[in-house]
Amino acid sequence: MAKNTIKVNLHTEEIPTKWYNILPHLPPGYPPPLHPKTFNPPPSPDLMQLMSRLFPKECLMQAASSEPEIEIPDEVLQTYVSVGRPTPLQRATRLEKKLGTPAKIYFKREDVNPVGSHKPNTAIAQAYYNMKEGVERLTTETGAGQWGSALALACCLFNMDCTVYMTRSSYLTKPGRKTVMEAFGAEVFPSPSDRTDAGKKFLKQDPNHPGSLGIAISEAAEDCFKHENTKYSLGSVLDFVLLHQSIVGLEAKRQMELLDQYPDIVVGCIGGGSNYGGFSYPFLQDKLKGKRKDTRYIAAEPTAVPSTTKGIYEYDNGDTAEIVPVVKMYTVGHTYQCPPIHAAGLRYHGKAPSMSYLIHKGLMESRAYGQREAIEAADLFAKTEGFIAAPETAHAIKATIDLALECKKTGEEKTIIFNYSGHGLLDLRVYEEYRSSTLKDFEASKEMLEAGLRALPKIPA
Ligand SMILES: Cc1ncc(COP(=O)(O)O)c(C=O)c1O
């Protein structure tokens, strides 16, 4: 393929047929999840019982697998293809020119499916495994509504019911996402809601509570425990979710090979870490095996929820009501009051345990950006490349532009690749606020961080 090719498409039959599991390649000592009350690690019966009440067996087996490759079931592959996989890899030549950078910028198009983000990659797999095990209904949380619409789509395709708890701030500001979920047959409630004990508790504290992903997870998990034939589905953070997302990086790696390129810098935004983990791990496996050691891995998070840049690497609860397992991760604390930023999918207090471990070990880096500078970068991307990014993705674009400008200073012709995790066509309000100069920035204050970190669980030594 010519070096100046600006778009690489894979044929349908070139879709990867196995996911990449990074777990066997992680440095030794990866900390296990713990039960939220007893703090017992696997294989203690209380933790295993909790996990299997929430998730399908197959996903739990994947999370414990030491196989680096895991077969993608045929029906999942067919469904991936039917909703738009493989996705294109594109070069942002107009952006490069506008920046005057010698760097080459590539982006992986995860916006090209019915809901417009990477989220169907795991929604389809999770709904499929649940359906196979006879589960009839899935509950979940959603921040921006991207994950909720992906699970609603997957449940619709596999004939299952779906209930979504959507953080109230997004429920009010992103009504289009609710319409999408309902179009696929899901029921959607603003969280905190009066349908669960956890929701009622937070509503009592504040009837206009903006909600958080941590609270919505508690509500969805409680709903799952209280109903027969119902399981819970999580859109990020867990090892098996990142495994399903590895289809993104596997395709991108193949596409780069066709261009005879290997990235010097791999960029993505992080909410719980699933799009960036899925995108970067197939490349990072080379570094973990002692090859391609110079490639840098840079994750972008919001200054409003700076888990990896200002939080700590500790065991913390996955949800605010302390129902789901405790994991070791970079966190600002499960009670942290997440400001209502537009990138609602980045409002999660912690980051995926595997990614946190890699950052802790110095194998990945991270940077934090305010929403104004992120949207300014996304606005430039729209004006040069013609794509209006999701506010979450805007953080990856900002990091990419900064890195390309660093190359301009040094004159280095680096190859930068980022995950275009979703489009922003249902998030236009953030662009309107940016245009009218009313877009506010939120920075986590010392007091907010101290308050969030005070409530970490006390794990017995
Ligand atoms: C478009 C988009 N990008 C990124 C994210 C962040 O989530 P994760 O870190 O799990 O990929 C979200 C979450 O909703 C999203 O909708």
Q: What is the pLDDT of residue 118?
A: 98
Average pLDDT, the chain: 97
Q: How many CA atoms, within 13 angstroms, populate the side-chain half-sphere of residue 423? A: 15
Give the closest residue (by CA) to ligand 1 atom 1: 422
Q: What is the pLDDT of residue 338?
A: 86
- Rounded Cα gap, residues 140 and 412, in angstroms: 45
Two structure tokens written together for 383: 């004006």
Residue nearest to atom 6 of ligand 1 (CA): 271
335 CB near ligand 1 (under 6 Å): no
Query: pLDDT digits over 201-239, tens only?
Result: 999 999 999 999 999 999 999 999 999 999 999 999 999
Mean pLDDT of 55-79: 98
**Average pLDDT rounded to a whole number, residues 268-280:** 98
Among 344, 365, 347, CA closest to 424: 344
Q: Is 272 in the pocket of ligand 1 (CB under 6 A)?
A: yes
Q: What is the mean pLDDT of residues 69-94?
A: 98
CA 38 to centroid of ligand 1, rounded, Å:
31
Provide the pLDDT confidence category of residue 1 given band limits of 50, 70 and 90. Answer: confident
Residues 53, 221: Cα–Cα separation, whole Å? 10
What pLDDT shows up at residue 461?
Answer: 82
Backbone φ and ψ of 221, nearest 5°:
-70, -45
- What does the CA dihedral 52, 164, 39, 64 come to, rounded to 10 degrees? 40
Write the pLDDT tens digit of every residue in 327-373.
999 999 999 988 889 999 999 999 999 999 999 999 999 999 999 99
> Which of 109, 110, 117, 398 to mutate for ligand 1's pocket (most ligand atoms within 8 Å of CB)?
117
Quick check: 2 pLDDT over 80? no
Beta carbon of 117 within 6 Å of any ligand 1 atom: yes
Q: Is the CB of 396 under 6 A from ligand 1?
A: no
Ligand 1 pocket mutation, candidates 275, 355, 359, 393, criterion most atoms within 8 A of CB: 275
**Nearest protein CA to atom 5 of ligand 1, as residue:** 345
> Looking at ligand 1, which residue's alpha carbon is closest to its atom 14?
345
Q: Evaluate if pTM is beyond 0.95.
A: yes
Is pLDDT above 90 for 273? yes
If you measure from the C-alpha of residue 113 to the centroid of ligand 1, how many angstroms do you get, rounded to a whole number? Answer: 15
Mean pLDDT score, 114-124: 98
Q: Which residues contact 222 (CB under 8 A, 6 or more apart)?
A: 196, 197, 198, 321, 323
* Residue 451: pLDDT over 90: yes
For ligand 1, say whether the CB of 256 is within 6 Å of any of its atoms.
no
Q: Taking 80 as the threshold, does the pLDDT of residue 3 lie above it?
A: no
CA 166–ligand 1 middle distance (angstroms): 14
CB proximity list for 246: less than 8 A, separation 6 or greater:
19, 20, 21, 22, 277, 278, 281, 282
Confidence band (pLDDT; 50, 70, 90) for 420? very high
Q: Which atom of ligand 1 is found nearest the CA of 110?
A: 1
What mean pLDDT is predicted for residues 156-184? 96
Whether 137 and 227 have beta carbons less than 8 Å apart is answered as yes
pLDDT > 90 fraction of the chain, expressed in percent and rounded = 97
Confidence of residue 381 (pLDDT cuts 50, 70, 90): very high
CB 325 within 8 A of CB 51: yes
- How crowded is the C-beta side of 108, counted as CA atoms within 13 Å? 35
Residue 340: its pLDDT value, please? 87
Q: Is the CB of 271 under 6 A from ligand 1?
A: yes
Strand pairing report for 161-167 and 89-91: unpaired
- Does ligand 1 have an atom closer than 6 angstroms to the CB of 142? no
The CA–CA distances, whole Å, from 17 to 5, 74, 130, 236, 378 equal: 26, 8, 20, 21, 33
Going from the Cα of 149 to the center of ligand 1, the distance in angstroms, rounded, reads 12
